[in-house]
Structure 1
Amino acid sequence: MNTNFSLLSLVNLAIFTDIFFYGLIVPVLPFALSAQAGVPEDDVQYWVSILLAAYSASLFVGSPISGIYADHTSSRRWPLLLGLLALAGSTFLLAFGNSIGLFVLGRVLQGLSAAVVWSVGCALLVDTMGSSVGVAMGYVNISMSIALLLAPVIGGVVYNKAGYLAVYYVCFGVVGLDIVLRLVMIEKKVARQWIREPETGSSRNNAEKTSPTITPSDEPLGNSAVIPNTQTPETTSIGEAGHRDDHGNASKVDREKHRGRPVLALLKSSRLLAALYGIFVESGILIGFDAVLALFVRRLFGWNSTAVAVLFLALFLPGFIAPLAGWLSDKYGAKWPSFAGFVATIPVLISLRFVTENTIQHKVLLAFLLALAGFTLPFSMTPLMAEISYVIEAKEDESPGIFGTKGVYGLAYGLFNMAFALGGIIGPIWAGYVVESAGWGTLTWNFGLWSASAAVVVFIWGANKPQTPAVDDVPPEST
């Protein structure tokens, strides 16, 4: 349990650092583009959207590479450190850059860092948290919320009081602390040895997570989900016969067909595709608001960066409810919590169109609606993050060994990152274009329709309960 807590804390700190840096410059970026890079005021909205999209494009490209690497290495400390070095490089470029080209390069490096942190970090959490993966993802969302809560406020206040460079001095301090803690991070294979002892025989779920570290000599004692290729035909036929009534020969054929092609096996799951679409929509809405909200209140209310930063408190403070959403998904499945979250978000997004005047009533209305969105959005996102691991477990139950001995959790969360990044590319560009061409009110019902489409997809293809093993824990060869 102590090992679980240590790894959970370290992964959440890594995610906090990544998101903290992302959120630190959101309220500052519109002002910095004019002051540091000399961007004309009329072009600020355009370049804010481009910089957010550059981050997401880099995240999109780097995520599958990071995920595949995470699945084929026993040490996840070093990729996390490489991601942190990329973040340090990004911090340097954004702090001292004086051209739009350097700003774009800094955001690209930041996206690569996020790709490593999320793919490797989420895979490490699934490795160690077992059946509590939903709750673990809830704490990931809390890390995000704390970072997004603190970073804009700190960024805005520091920028106003001490200037642009001081904002990045804060970031360098956080990055330095994270470097030290990642250097002392417990290796994955060591953590598994500690976790396996007290949990031996407790659940097939945890045994599956430990299978990549099993040596060939230990395999007969391992979990039946990992069937060595050296079996004799007779042994294989007995194993398949044990599941003939449930799966027949299709299980073996499917396993052989997709061996070495885990992406294809994963993408054939409608559940996974539904989860990825929901994540895409969630990301597009959140990052889309990042692209336009600061500039919107600056123009409508005349607010400075500090006031903009405080406004983000209303959006991210309710995110502390995320572990409850994760617990509900662990207990009942991802479908209903996520569906309810998307449905509840629709009227909130559309109601934002009524914020149109520089009055105290409209300022209060904006803060109230953002707080409601901050409460509903974690119920959309957290269950879908856990659903990715549920899908893998379900496929392993249907076709034991389909993903081989290495597993695909890193790759699966790389796909999660890609969906999140795609939303991050389309969301800010679409939001910026709609606001500039059709206005704030049009954007709000556009985002409302996005949320409605995600609710429909999750309702049709989501699963009522996570497909956790129950009766079929007996290995095939013993039936």
Structure 2
Amino acid sequence: MTFNTDTSKPLGYRWRSSKTFIVGSVTVALFTESLLFGFIVPILSYMLEQRLHIDPSHTQNETTKLLAIYGFVSVVFATATAHVADKMPDRRTPLLYALAGCLVGTALVASTLSIWTVYLGRVLQSIASSGAWIVGFATVADAVGDEHFGKVLGVVLSFVTAGTISGPTVSGVLLKLVGYWPTWLVPMAVLVLDMLARMLMIEASKPTPSDEERTGLLPASRPASSDQEGSTAPSTSNFYRIMLLDSRVLTGLAGCLLYSSLMANFDTTIPLHVRETFHWDSLPTGLMFLCLQIPNVIFNPVSGWVRDKIGVRYPMTVGWALMAPLLFLLGMPGDERFAWVNGGHHGVVITVTCLLGIGALGSLLHGAGPMELTAVVREQEAQDPLIFGENGAGSRAFALAEMAFTLGIMLGPLLSGPLVELVGYFYMNVVFGILCLMLAVSSFNFLRRKQPAIVE
């Protein structure tokens, strides 16, 4: 259906098609997805032992597998999900399917009919969540354009981080206060509201390149009759060949992978380190993670505005360069070779300060990779609007970033855990610090200085 006249426009067209409503509804959807990611953690042992009657000695093993399968499935299905999404003429439909799939998966997990039902629910949650992330960010990029993408993405990521923080807290408190099923009804009700908002959303139709535009943009040697044939092949396998041979894309993906590896590394190593060094229990340990997350929530919009103004080159270079000395310092408390750190409360002060600094620097890094990938796709499509197919490759660009980020979450613990065992906590941080310095050099050498304007 097309809306060429005022009489043909549906009720509420102005606000339903506004950028504010589109971005707001997608933000709420991504907040819900991030909330669901950690929602299960505090109540999983109750589900396994009290509802599924699994022996407590097997709880840790089942917990590990249920959490790990989420990331593994997301990596496996990301490219297929993005390919299907880019084949669809709009973003609303795949996003609606993703939210519906997440609702079904959540219901299966909550039902706890059997352990295999829970596994099936986690698989569905992972596939649907991956689709929601990929299509959601692509929808935001399409809605706001290049000029304001950085700051809008920063605001969206602030809500995503808030969802990550609040998920475990909300589920743990609700289970204690209102019981099992009312706890699960909260995220399911939010998902239903998300789906209703998606049904109301009206996207602006993408302009289709005219014959004159195609003729002027395509190489003169390409026959006009091959336009349609050429538009399908590059949109599949050639997309990944073009993108993965671009140094800017590889640097952006490396940034996604290293950032998520660092965050997963902290989840793995900080609780044990502060327990052994400062003899802390769960409460102060949990507050340490707020030191990482709160600065990220606060500074994400500011960092996005900076990236809009000067591009991602300098923010990523500065962020990774300053991350290294903070990691070196973070590893010193508790190490006998640094006696000056371990007297009095010096170690606690250094640890808290370093985590706050790392959280603030994370706002410069989180989201920079997807921005760079989106810019590369836009530049390629500006030269040839059909290079990635009629509907573009926005979802596939975000799928690459999503895969790198998820892979980092999986690799972080696999790298940091053995390193702590082999060389100790300090040298583990040194290894990650060196990787940060290497990426700072790559960012300065390969990333663009300022986001170019794309004329459509």
Instruction: Indicate the TM-score class for this superposition, using the shorter chain for normalisation.
Output: 0.7 to 0.9
Contact map agreement 1:283 1:420 (CA 8 A) in 2: yes
- Cα 1:187–1:456 change in 2 (3 A) is farther
Could you tell me which of 258, 267, 277 is aligned with 2:254? 277
Amino acid at match of 1:4: K
Q: How does 1:79-478 map to 2 (within 5 A)?
A: 79-88=94-103, 91=106, 107-131=122-146, 132-154=148-170, 169-170=182-183, 172-185=185-198, 190-192=202-204, 210-211=206-207, 214=208, 220=210, 224=213, 227=214, 236=215, 239=216, 258=234, 260=236, 261-298=238-275, 301=278, 303-319=280-296, 320-356=298-334, 361-469=346-454
Normalising by the residue count of structure 1, what TM-score does the alignment of the two structures yield?
Answer: 0.76
How far the C-alpha of 1:93 sits from its partner, in A, is: 6.2
1:13 aligns to what? 28
How far the C-alpha of 1:344 sits from its partner, in A, is: 1.5
Aligned counterparts of 1:223 and 1:172: Cα–Cα separation in 2: 54
How far the C-alpha of 1:285 sits from its partner, in A, is: 1.0
Contact map agreement 2:256 2:404 (CA 8 A) in 1: yes
Normalising by the residue count of structure 2, what TM-score does the alignment of the two structures yield?
Answer: 0.79
How far the C-alpha of 1:21 sits from its partner, in A, is: 2.2
- Cα 1:135–1:300 change in 2 (3 A) is same
Aligned counterparts of 2:145 and 2:356: Cα–Cα separation in 1: 32
User: 1:331-357: per-residue Cα shift (whole Å, max 9, x none)?
Assistant: 211111111111111111222112337
Percent identity over the alignment is 26
User: 1:92-146: per-residue Cα shift (whole Å, max 9, x none)?
Assistant: 5665769987776655444323311111101111111112111221112111221
Aligned counterparts of 1:449 and 1:27: Cα–Cα separation in 2: 35
Could you say what secondary structure the match of 1:289 adopts?
helix
Unaligned runs of 5+ in 2: 1-13, 335-341
- Cα 1:63–1:388 change in 2 (3 A) is same
Contact map agreement 2:99 2:195 (CA 8 A) in 1: no
Range 300-309 or range 16-25, more displaced: 300-309
Could you say what secondary structure the match of 1:192 adopts?
coil
How far the C-alpha of 1:187 sits from its partner, in A, is: 6.4
1:203 aligns to what? none
Amino acid at match of 1:401: L
Could you say what secondary structure the match of 2:331 adopts?
helix
Could you tell me which of 63, 67, 70 is aligned with 1:55? 70
Contact map agreement 1:155 1:309 (CA 8 A) in 2: no
Amino acid at match of 2:384: S
User: 1:185-239: per-residue Cα shift (whole Å, max 9, x none)?
Assistant: 2567x3205xxxxxxxxxxxxxxxx13xx4xxxx54x993xx2xxxxxxxx4xx2
Aligned counterparts of 1:374 and 1:251: Cα–Cα separation in 2: 53
How far the C-alpha of 1:300 sits from its partner, in A, is: 5.0
Amino acid at match of 2:303: A
Unaligned runs of 5+ in 1: 194-209, 228-235, 474-479
How far the C-alpha of 1:463 sits from its partner, in A, is: 1.0
Aligned counterparts of 2:45 and 2:81: Cα–Cα separation in 1: 31
- Cα 1:182–1:97 change in 2 (3 A) is closer
Amino acid at match of 1:127: D
User: 1:44-100: per-residue Cα shift (whole Å, max 9, x none)?
Assistant: 5x8776655432211111211221121111343443344334444554566576998
Amino acid at match of 2:27: N
Aligned counterparts of 1:431 and 1:251: Cα–Cα separation in 2: 54
How far the C-alpha of 1:409 sits from its partner, in A, is: 0.1
How far the C-alpha of 1:303 sits from its partner, in A, is: 4.7
